[in-house]
Amino acid sequence: MQTLTSTSVLERVGTALSDPTRVRILVALRDAPAYPTELAGLLGVSRQSLSNHLSCLRGCGLVISVPEGRRSRYELVDPKLGHALTDLLGIVLAVDPTHHDHP
């Protein structure tokens, strides 16, 4: 396993945060580890879609899968990520309503 620092970490976090479903997964895991079935139900997405997003988040190095018998539990790889997500959620943005580059 390789440990990344600096801009590589920010690039991977940016990739993860670029999709609304992945953002919702990370926010859910910030509160507590969860099983895929629970996450799919909570987020209202198919198991296949969730699996694809979890794969991306694992590839980015942000979540880990912890085997528990026949099931796997997902959690954030580092508690500091949970704190960073909380900080990001608290940011107040100055959005120009005439600028339409984002939905």
**What's 75's domain CATH number?**
1.10.10.10
Residue 1 lies in a domain: no
In-domain check, residue 26: yes
Per-residue pLDDT at 98: 81
Q: Which residue has the tokens 């909570």?
A: 42
Asked if residue 61 lies in contact with residue 16, where contact means CB atoms within 8 angstroms, the answer is: no
Q: Is 4 helix (H, G, I), strand (E, B) or coil?
A: coil
What does R_g of the chain's alpha carbons equal in angstroms?
15
Q: Which residue segment(s) compose the domain that 16 sits in?
A: 7-86
Per-residue pLDDT of the chain (103 residues; tens, 9 = 90+): 555 567 787 888 888 999 999 999 999 999 999 999 999 999 999 999 999 999 999 999 999 999 999 999 999 999 999 999 999 989 887 878 787 665 5
Phi and psi, residue 91, nearest 5° = -75, 135
Number of domains the chain contains: 1
Residue 47 lies in a domain: yes
CA-wise closest residue to 53 among 39, 66, 42, 67: 39
